[in-house]
Amino acid sequence: MRRDLSQPIATGIVTALVGFTSSFAVVLAGLGAVGATDAQAASGLAVLCVLQGLGMLWLTWRFKTPLTLAWSTPGAALLATQGYVTGGWPAAIGAFLITGALIVATGLWGWLGRTIAAIPAPIAQAMLAGVLVTLCLEPFKALAVSPWLVAPLILVWLVMQRVSQRWATPAAFGLALVFMIVAALQGDGIPVAAPHLTFTAPAFTWAGIVGLALPLFVVTMASQNVPGVAVLGAAGYTVPWRETMVVTGVTTMAGAPSGGHALNLAAITAALPASPESHPDPARRWIATATAGSAYLVMAAGAASLTALVAVAPAGLVESVAGLALLGTLASALAGALRHASDRIPAVATMLLAASGVSVLGVGSAFWALVVGLAARWLLRPRGAVATP
């Protein structure tokens, strides 16, 4: 029995470690960009870990299915690209609450899910690519400024892409962590901070709702929840859509006042617990996801110290890790955006506008990229052509 459990438990721990180390830097960058202080960003990271863990434990117990959850990494990249929103951090909190409510509504009312599914994939992927490109440029910008720090990170990442893609970003983060510890020891020492949640009253503004909440909702649904369903479906599992959306939406709303931006079905990391590598028996693979959930509860305790360490890191180091972590997602988004020749001009326009960071009427570029992309696609589609999904 012990050997029967060791395999999914080990897989669950690996799932949590890979999921956390490969994208936490993106979360901190995104929260900081929309106005969070270091303490508020640490609170956001901790509450995401806690609620993500609790959500996985509930869903796996309820359905005995490896329903792995994750924070919205593309959503965090969106925050980093859009930056400050009118109303500051309270307006961002309000946007997170609206995002959670929309996710709940998607589970309760099928028409909303169908509306999101009706957004052409090339346009949705192009918007995501535009959001990601700014962050993905950071390692190469930092390489010119701090080559002795950034070049080893890129080299380690490339080597691990060859050896084991799953561990490429965690390995780069591990090296960055060594650099951060050395820098901290040369200053005031390694910072240690006790776990602490902050609470901010939300503010609901036009710019926050239209410019942040709606794009965050679309990106989370299109690049996380929908692919997450597909990943589990390929492994032979049926996702209980209604309850999963309600759980992720409610936990998003619960975590919003403490800085949690969005929770959703995992896409990339979901494949590991759902695979035979987790357990030969599909009915036992839920144990891996339950273990990952428990591991996230443990890692929440270190969120404040990790955030404090990141705050004293050499310039460009953490941003480089975040950019490397998103390169694979950017490549997939570009492939999806440019798949059909008839969609390429609208897709490229969408991507460039999303990447521009311009704000019109106080609303960020991601929303306008979606609007312009849809309009351009409608205008340029040949008469009588069948729309591509």
Query: pLDDT by residue (tens digit) across 84-102?
Result: 888 899 999 999 999 999 9
Amino acid at 278: S
Nearest alpha carbon to residue 129 among 263, 210, 222, 231: 222
Rounded distance, CA 263 to CA 252, Å?
A: 6
Q: In this structure, are residues 48 and 220 in contact, taking their beta carbons and an 8 Å threshold?
A: no
Please state the pTM of the whole predicted model.
0.84
Question: Which candidate, 291, 248, 254, 329, places its Cα nearest to that of 26?
Answer: 329
- Residue 87 Cα distances to 35, 209, 216, 218, angstroms: 10, 11, 17, 22
Banded pLDDT at 383 (limits 50, 70, 90): low
Cβ(285)–Cβ(273) below 8 Å: yes
Per residue in 21-44, pLDDT (tens digit) is: 888 889 999 999 999 999 999 999
**DSSP state for residue 382 in the 8-state scheme:** P
pLDDT at 384: 53
Residue 151 confidence (pLDDT): 93
What percentage of the chain has pLDDT greater than the value 90? Answer: 39
CB count, 10 Å around CB of 234? 11
CB environment 153-175: b (16+ within 10 A), e (fewer): bbebbeebbeeeebbbbbbbbeb
